[in-house]
Structure 1
Amino acid sequence: MRKLLLPSLIIIVASLLVLRLFYLQIIDDSLKLKSDNNAIKIKYDYPERGYIYDRNGKLLVANQPSYDIMVIPRDVKNIDTLELCELLNITKEDFLGKIAKAKVYSPRLPSVFLPQLNKTEFAAFQEKIRKFEGFYFQKRSLRDYQVNFGANIFGFITQVNEKLIEKNPYYNSGDLIGKQGVEESYEEVLRGIKGVKYYQKDKFNREIGSFKDGKYDTIAVQGEDINLTIDMLLQQYGEELMVNKRGGIVAIEPKTGEILALVTAPSYDPAILVGRQRSKNYTLLYRDSIAKPLYDRGLLAEYPPGSPFKILTGLIGLQEGVINEQTTFMCNHGFAYAPGRFQRCHCGGGSRDMHVGIYKSCNAYFSNVYLRTIGKYASAPYAVDVWSNHVKSFGLGQFMGYDLPTGKRGKIPNSKTYKKIYPDWRWSGKTIISNAIGQGEVVMTPIQLANMMATVANQGYYYTPHIIKKIKGEKIDPKFTTKHVTTIDKKYFAPMISGLFDVYNLGTAAGLRVEGIDICGKTGTAENFAKINGVRTKMEDHSIFVAFAPKDNPKIAIAVMIENGGFGSTIAGPIASLMIEKYLRGKITRTDLEKRTLERSLQGRYAKLGGLSEAVKAEIRRKDSIAKSKIIVPKVKVDTTKTN
């Protein structure tokens, strides 16, 4: 038996190998398709991307035809290079560079030689394509924007890079992919599935028909259409109001967490990132380090929240039981919280309870509340952690989980923060009292501010902000329908909302009232410092305003942040009031407010920021004279050519 064991094993193994080879070579020839088979040519059929609509079904983004010129370097033989260059409007140097790049990818596989030709450009090439062996065309679709706003929401389409091709086998050289905005977030939904066709070639490299009668061919599947939560008219109006200003606006529907508007300024027309000029225009936008049109201030910009943060200071004080609605503190035009330390206040002075403290925005009142909150516990580090956890329950100090690919977490300090800042001495509530009024170490993004107000409007809960409303044939992520409840009991929100309502009736926003709409809001002015020539310099304050409306059964919560805008009631407040009326009524009755806001420019103020060249200052002054009805574009001149 031992003598037979080894021969038997050899026979069995050999038999298995023969059977496997027979299966691979005779029965299953699919592996041929994965090799660089000289006799097979692969062509891809690219589907249309899904269309993008707003919450009301209005079309925002469609598609338009485009053509890529493809090349297989090894097959390029005996062509008139100069004629090809003339047809495609490129130089000989461009030609040589593109061929060299294609060879690096693969001499035998197709690469994109020249992408995104429109119908007119392609027509001239199509007539003579037979003269250029090794070249062929591939039809695909590009985005066709139906609006000239919302660039930060949509994102753009670009070619995949080599790193992505290595990571994801779906993509090949020259394929397009969504970047930024919903194009990136919902790439797999929008892109569809590309089709593949295999063609047999003869010994002369000519196509002679489908490989295996199309056995392995697949058809393209169009991408799914999506509806965004964005209200197209509100978004457009927000961008018009932000002309000649820098900052962000975020509006949310409180009961659902749906983002109604996401405005960043300055912005640009999304159409300039379509077609052959996309790369050139993107480079110009990217290099604009002054206006930063590619920087989404609504999601990325982190600012001290200023006075709107007093809302949380008061709610936490009520929850911790250190105050009640009737608790009063004296304001002596400010608050002396330590020898030689005085915090100024513009409320006019006098005895303040919570209601008056909110609508007059009294620094002294909320600083006292904060000191009592931190002083409630024997250990200041423990007390700060209690306070920090309350604040974070509003979704602050963290990535919020919304469905856009960019964002910042902001900053809500805790005991670890102050252990690093003050490692060698004992600190107390008075040391960090700036937190009480939204300064100090507290930093928030505009979308976090809007979500905070949505939470107050809901009296203690919120839904994760999101921009997707509907995907054809699919359900949206359940995390967007999951309720998040704060650590503050519902009963404490009513007195706070009453004070916010009187901000519009008796307080700092009394001049911003809209007849017939009950708005609850809070002005804010955040101190702003910048390093100029290495020196920390006090700059013009940021203008902030947060609000929701109507007071009962709120339909919209909003946050407006204007860089270097000054008092919250001067620029940010009017924008919030106008946006609210536009959404709730579809028209504007405060035409005086609208005219003043549309005409208000801060470009001259931005020119004084320091460190700017005379050329840049001159450009800012030029921008100041641009027609106010147009959406501002970056300071660079861009090529607006797009495919037809």
Structure 2
Amino acid sequence: MRKVLLPSLIIIAASLLVIRIFYLQIIDDSFKLKSDNNAIKIKYDYPERGYIYDRNGKLLVANQASYDIMVIPREVKNTDTLEFCTLLNITKEDFIKKMEKAKIYSPRLPSVFLPQLNKSEFAAFQEKIRKFEGFYFQKRSLRDYEVDFGANVFGFITQVNEKLVAKNPYYNSGDLIGKQGVEESYEEILRGIKGVKYLQKDKYNREIGSFKEGKYDTIAVQGEDINLTIDAELQKYGEELMINKRGGIVAIEPKTGEILSLVTAPSYDPSILVGRKRSKNYTQLYHDSIAKPLYDRGLLAEYAPGSPFKILTGLVALQEGVVDEQTTVFCHHGFSYARGRFMRCHCHGGALQLHRGIYESCNAYFGTAYMRTINKYVKPSYAVDVWSNHVKSFGLGQFMGYDLPTGRKGHIPDSKTYKKMYPNGGWRSTAIVSNAIGQGEVSMTPIQLANMMATVANEGYYYTPHIIKKIEGQKIDKKFTTKHVTTIDKKYFKPMISGLFDVYNLGTAYYLKVEGIDICGKTGTAENFAKINGVRTQLEDHSIFVAFAPKDNPKIAIAVMVENGGFGATIAGPIASLMIEKYLRHKITRTDLETRILNKSLQGEYAKLGGLSEIVKAQMRKKDSIEKSKIIAPKIKKDTTKQN
């Protein structure tokens, strides 16, 4: 038996090997396509990228023709460098540098020599391209922006880097990919599928037809069109209101979680990141470390939320049963919460109950409510976790799962936070009472603030904020239609909403009312410190405002954060009122507020931190004075009519 076993195994293994070799060499010739590419030329057909529309079918982003000059280094022979450089308006040094880069990538595979030429730039070279062996052109489509706003929403298109090419087999050197915004989030949907043609070459390197009669060729599949939840007019208006200011505006439709507006300031015209000047312009934007125009403040900037956080302080206290609508707190223009410790308050003072505490934004009331919440339990560490879990049920202190590629979690402290801060223990509610008024260890992003208000407007639930409304031929992710319910009973939202309504009627937003629109809101002011020349310096406070409207059946929830803007009712509040009226009525009656905000500049405050780059200065001017730098090229024709 042993004598037979070994020869049998050898015979079986040898037979399998022969069969596999026969299959690969005779039957399956697909591996020939992975050879040295001496006899086969691979040509890609790049599809048109999907168009981008707003929620109402308005075309925002289309395409325009573009040409890349490609090179296969080993095939470059007898090139008249001077003529070549003259035709493409580059220097000899540029030519040498680009050739060396192409050789490093691969001497025998094509790579991009000069990208993104428009039709006029390409025309002269096209007539003489046959003179330059080893060079050919690749037609592509670049973005053509129909609007001069929304850069942070759209993102931009750039060339793939070597790491991605090595990691993802779909991409080759010189391919384009979406970065930031929806271009990155929905890259696989928008890009489509590129087609491939395999061309046979003879011994003189001439094309003689399709390889295997086109057996392996594939047809390009155009990218899918998408509709965003953004309202284009509201987005444009928000960016205009934020000219010469820094901060973010986020507006959400409460009943769906759809993002109506996502404004960051300062911003830029998206068209400056298209074409041959893209790299230069991007570098300028990237290195502006003061204004940070590429930094989406609506998603990334973490601020102390200030007084709007009192909404959650009150709701948690109601849920925990430590206060009710009739609970009375005495305010002596502040709150003495420990020996020698006093929290100042700007309300009118006296005896306050929940309703007045909200619309006058009383620190004493909400400081008391917070301390009673923590003191309800024997162990402060357990109590702060109870409080923290209630607050986190509003989507705070975590990535909310929205469909944009960037974001921050903010911070809602819990017992772990204070164990690190007080490793020896001994802390009590008096040590963390600043959380009650949105200071302390609490931080939130503008989109979290907006989602918080959407949740209050819905009386206790929210849908994950998202920016996609419709994908041609597909369904949107189910997580965007899944309801998230807070730990706060619905009955406690009604008295809170009543108080927020009177913020406009009796309280801190009295002068921001819009006739005929019932708005519920909350002003906020957050302290602002920065290091200037190595010294911690207190600057003008951040201006914060949150709101939703109408009071019954709300259509919009909004958060506005203006850096160095002062009191919440000074700049952020007027912006919120204007945005709400613009969305609900499509016109503005509070022209007094509009004129004041459009003309308001905070550049004097920002100058204390440093200047702005030239490109951002241009973008911060009024829209009608901005000279667009779009590539001069014919648009790719397409029916732009769109139905929801």
Whether TM exceeds 0.5 here: the answer is yes
Match of 1:519 in 2: 519
Q: Distance in 2 between matches of 1:23 and 1:625?
A: 62
1:113-124 aligned at under 5 Å gives the runs 113-124=113-124
Three-state SS of the structure 1 residue aligned to 2:64 is strand
Q: Conserved in 2, the CA contact under 8 Å of 1:396 and 1:412?
A: yes
Q: Deviations over 1:162-198 (max 9, x none)?
A: 1111111000111100000000000000000000000
Match of 2:267 in 1: 267
Q: Which amino acid aligns with 1:329?
A: V
Q: Distance in 2 between matches of 1:136 and 1:106?
A: 16
**TM-superposed deviation, 1:402:** 0.3
Q: Deviations over 1:548-602 (max 9, x none)?
A: 0000000000000000000000100000000000000110111111111111111
Q: Which moved more, 1:531-540 or 1:592-601?
A: 531-540
Closer, same or farther in 2 for the Cα pair 1:630/1:307, shift >3 Å? farther
Q: Deviations over 1:100-143 (max 9, x none)?
A: 11111111110011111101111111100110000111111000
**TM-superposed deviation, 1:532:** 2.3
Q: Deviations over 1:274-333 (max 9, x none)?
A: 011111110000011111100000000000000000000000110000000010101101
Q: Distance in 2 between matches of 1:414 and 1:625?
A: 42
Three-state SS of the structure 2 residue aligned to 1:149 is coil
**TM-superposed deviation, 1:534:** 2.8
Q: Deviations over 1:455-502 (max 9, x none)?
A: 000000000000000101111110000000000000000000000000
Indicate the RMSD between aligned Cα atoms, in angstroms.
1.9
Q: Deviations over 1:189-220 (max 9, x none)?
A: 00000000001111111111111111100000
1:86 aligns with 2:86: yes
**TM-superposed deviation, 1:242:** 0.3
Q: Distance in 2 between matches of 1:600 and 1:164?
A: 44
Q: Distance in 2 between matches of 1:617 and 1:164?
A: 33
Match of 1:17 in 2: 17
Match of 2:30 in 1: 30
Match of 1:579 in 2: 579
Q: Deviations over 1:69-125 (max 9, x none)?
A: 111000001111111111111111111111111111111110011111101111111
Q: Deviations over 1:376-413 (max 9, x none)?
A: 01111111110000000000000110000000000000
Q: Which amino acid aligns with 1:145?
A: Y
1:565 aligns with 2:538: no
Closer, same or farther in 2 for the Cα pair 1:243/1:630, shift >3 Å? farther
Q: Conserved in 1, the CA contact under 8 Å of 2:502 and 2:520?
A: yes
1:292 aligns with 2:292: yes
Q: Conserved in 1, the CA contact under 8 Å of 2:288 and 2:613?
A: no
**TM-superposed deviation, 1:625:** 13
1:463-612 aligned at under 5 Å gives the runs 463-609=463-609, 612=610
Percent identity over the alignment? 82
Closer, same or farther in 2 for the Cα pair 1:618/1:275, shift >3 Å? closer
Q: Conserved in 1, the CA contact under 8 Å of 2:345 and 2:363?
A: yes
Q: Distance in 1 between matches of 2:330 and 2:211?
A: 88
Match of 1:419 in 2: 419
Aligned residue pairs: how many? 634
Match of 2:639 in 1: none
Match of 2:383 in 1: 383
Q: Distance in 1 between matches of 2:613 and 2:468?
A: 41
Match of 2:99 in 1: 99
Q: Conserved in 2, the CA contact under 8 Å of 1:76 and 1:133?
A: yes
**TM-superposed deviation, 1:628:** 4.0
Closer, same or farther in 2 for the Cα pair 1:309/1:205, shift >3 Å? same
Q: Conserved in 1, the CA contact under 8 Å of 2:419 and 2:425?
A: no
Three-state SS of the structure 2 residue aligned to 1:381 is helix
Three-state SS of the structure 2 residue aligned to 1:368 is helix
Q: Which amino acid aligns with 2:135?
A: F
**TM-superposed deviation, 1:26:** 2.1
Q: Distance in 2 between matches of 1:631 and 1:383?
A: 56
Q: Distance in 2 between matches of 1:290 and 1:4?
A: 81
**TM-superposed deviation, 1:19:** 2.8
Q: Which moved more, 1:444-453 or 1:122-131?
A: 122-131
1:632-643 aligned at under 5 Å gives the runs 643=633
Three-state SS of the structure 1 residue aligned to 2:429 is coil
Q: Deviations over 1:501-531 (max 9, x none)?
A: 0000000001000011000000000111112
1:176-187 aligned at under 5 Å gives the runs 176-187=176-187
**Unmatched tracts of structure 2, length 5 or more:** 635-644
**TM-superposed deviation, 1:5:** 5.3
Match of 1:313 in 2: 313
Closer, same or farther in 2 for the Cα pair 1:254/1:213, shift >3 Å? same
Q: Distance in 2 between matches of 1:111 and 1:624?
A: 35
Q: Distance in 2 between matches of 1:243 and 1:266?
A: 7
Closer, same or farther in 2 for the Cα pair 1:42/1:624, shift >3 Å? closer
Q: Which moved more, 1:90-99 or 1:302-311?
A: 90-99
Q: Distance in 1 between matches of 2:131 and 2:171?
A: 30
**TM-superposed deviation, 1:535:** 2.6
Q: Which moved more, 1:122-131 or 1:26-35?
A: 26-35
Q: Distance in 1 between matches of 2:633 and 2:94?
A: 21
Q: Conserved in 1, the CA contact under 8 Å of 2:571 and 2:597?
A: yes
Three-state SS of the structure 2 residue aligned to 1:327 is coil
Q: Conserved in 1, the CA contact under 8 Å of 2:243 and 2:621?
A: no
Q: Conserved in 2, the CA contact under 8 Å of 1:300 and 1:406?
A: yes
**TM-superposed deviation, 1:365:** 0.7
Q: Which amino acid aligns with 1:223?
A: G
1:301 aligns with 2:318: no
- TM-score (norm: length of structure 2): 0.96
Match of 1:232 in 2: 232
**Unmatched tracts of structure 1, length 5 or more:** none
Q: Which amino acid aligns with 2:456?
A: V
Match of 1:345 in 2: 345
Match of 2:57 in 1: 57
Q: Conserved in 2, the CA contact under 8 Å of 1:274 and 1:642?
A: no
Q: Which moved more, 1:296-305 or 1:598-607?
A: 598-607
Q: Conserved in 2, the CA contact under 8 Å of 1:457 and 1:554?
A: yes
Q: Conserved in 2, the CA contact under 8 Å of 1:49 and 1:192?
A: yes
**TM-superposed deviation, 1:10:** 4.2
- TM-score (norm: length of structure 1): 0.96
Match of 2:162 in 1: 162
Three-state SS of the structure 1 residue aligned to 2:530 is strand
Closer, same or farther in 2 for the Cα pair 1:273/1:643, shift >3 Å? farther
Three-state SS of the structure 1 residue aligned to 2:169 is coil
**TM-superposed deviation, 1:642:** 5.9
Q: Distance in 2 between matches of 1:208 and 1:624?
A: 53
Q: Conserved in 2, the CA contact under 8 Å of 1:384 and 1:414?
A: yes
Three-state SS of the structure 1 residue aligned to 2:260 is strand
Q: Conserved in 1, the CA contact under 8 Å of 2:619 and 2:626?
A: no
Closer, same or farther in 2 for the Cα pair 1:182/1:618, shift >3 Å? closer
Match of 2:638 in 1: none
Q: Distance in 1 between matches of 2:125 and 2:21?
A: 46
Three-state SS of the structure 1 residue aligned to 2:281 is helix
**TM-superposed deviation, 1:22:** 2.4
**TM-superposed deviation, 1:604:** 1.1
Match of 1:66 in 2: 66
Q: Distance in 2 between matches of 1:299 and 1:24?
A: 53
Three-state SS of the structure 1 residue aligned to 2:283 is helix
Q: Which amino acid aligns with 2:349?
A: G
Q: Distance in 2 between matches of 1:260 and 1:141?
A: 29
Closer, same or farther in 2 for the Cα pair 1:625/1:557, shift >3 Å? closer
Q: Which amino acid aligns with 1:85?
A: C
Q: Deviations over 1:208-236 (max 9, x none)?
A: 11111111000000000000000000000
Q: Distance in 2 between matches of 1:430 and 1:6?
A: 82
Match of 2:373 in 1: 373
Match of 2:278 in 1: 278
Match of 1:451 in 2: 451
Q: Distance in 1 between matches of 2:157 and 2:618?
A: 31
1:397 aligns with 2:397: yes
Match of 2:44 in 1: 44
Q: Conserved in 1, the CA contact under 8 Å of 2:618 and 2:626?
A: no
